[in-house]
Structures are given as C-alpha cells and as structure tokens.
Amino acid sequence: MTTKLKIAQKISREINITQQESKFFLDCFLGKISDQSKTMKIKISGFGTFSTKRTLERVGRNPKSKESYIIPSFKKLTFNASAKVKGDLN
C-alpha cells in the first residue's frame, strides 16, 4: 500500500527537495482538489477527472434485525481515470 508519506518521500528524492517541502506540496495539492471539487469538476490532463456526485435518498435495511431506515442523500467525490492511466494499469 502506498501512503502519503511514501509519495512525499518519492517526490523529495525525484526533484531533490526536503521531505517536509514535498509533504507540504502534497498536502496543498490534495487540499485544493478537495476544496475545488465541491463546486466544480477538476480535470488533470493525462491523469483523470475529480467531480462530486449526489446520491439519492434510499431505504436501507439492517441485515441482522431486518429493520428498515432511510439513508439520506449526500455528496461523494468520484474519480474517473484517463485513458492513459487506464492503459498503464492494464
């Protein structure tokens, strides 16, 4: 599993900056994606698109007790990988 720390370490090695600077850069980048994706789509060419999607209110059921309850609608972040990323994975 790759963590933010491992990504920051790789960035610091590849572009010759300190690990603190690369972690700061990574945190800022992810923060901007999180902030902007609440209001609009974010397309990173050659990587993919981040966007929000609203789920519908629906009925859920507890499998043990068989009780039904309402699951409210909410926003969730979605990611669609670009064709290049999909090709690299396959």
CA 48 to CA 23: how far, in whole Å?
A: 22
For the cut 90, the answer to whether the pLDDT of residue 90 exceeds it is no
Buried residues in 63-80 as b, exposed as e (16+ CB within 10 A): eeeeeeeeeeeeeeeeee
Average pLDDT on 12-30 reads 93
Q: What is the pTM of this model?
A: 0.67
Axis-axis angle for helices 19-37, 4-15 (nearest 10):
120
CA distance 3 to 24: 14
**Per-residue model confidence (pLDDT) at position 89:** 87
CA-nearest of 80, 11, 14 to 50 is 80
Residue 7's pLDDT is what?
93
Q: For all residues of the chain together, what is the average pLDDT?
A: 91
pLDDT single digits (tens) 29-71: 888 888 877 778 889 999 999 888 899 999 999 999 999 999 9
